[in-house]
Amino acid sequence: MIINGIEFDFSTLNANDVDRMLAAQTRQQERARTEGSRYTPENNYPAWLRLQCRIFMDYLDDVLGGGASEKLGLDGSNFNACLTVSKAFAEAMAAEKASVSALIHPAEERAQVSAAQAIPAPMNREQRRAAVKAHPAMVDFRAQEAAKAARRAQLKAELEALDNA
């Protein structure tokens, strides 16, 4: 998976990776509950921001591998950078799921196309005759031959122009 131009060995299609992500998510939520009571935005805003950053960075390191948060430019104090990386991570996962969904469910697209090109319902003799009268299948072969001759002449002129160049 590529996040902010950096490739990580993680895939939402790998069950082991997803298990690791869910376990990290559980640890992150538990840590936020236990340590979050110490720091609140009201009593110590900078410490609360750092705590949120550290929790997220540990989560990324657990999910994407050790040092992932540093590779992504997180330093533990810039909460805006954490939010940006979090959004990029979510978008990368969504893009991966969407690409796989298109591979898994192409039948839906084919069903829509085949419905548009469905075989017409059988008609009785009267209906067939009415359809033929409404849309006669008359082909003007002379017009087709004239169009072909004109196209041949045009192509011949282009070839002669290339040969003379």
Residue recorded with tokens 């750092």: 50
Within 13 Å, how many C-alpha atoms sit on residue 151's CB side?
6
The first and second tokens of residue 63, run together, are 């999910």
3-state helix, strand, coil in the chain (%, to 5): 70, 0, 25
Q: What is the pLDDT of residues 78-107, one digit of tens each?
A: 999 999 999 999 999 998 888 887 777 665
- CA dist., res. 86 & res. 25, Å (int): 13
- Predicted confidence band at 114 (pLDDT cuts at 50, 70, 90)? low
Average pLDDT over residues 35-52: 84
Provide the CB-side half-sphere exposure for 111 (13 A, CA). Answer: 4
Residue 88's pLDDT is what? 93
Give domain limits for the chain: 2-104, 125-164
State how far the Cα of 48 lies from the Cα of 144, in Å rounded to an integer: 79
Q: Given this model, what pLDDT does residue 19 score?
A: 94
Contact between 64 and 86 under an 8 Å Cβ cutoff? The reply is no
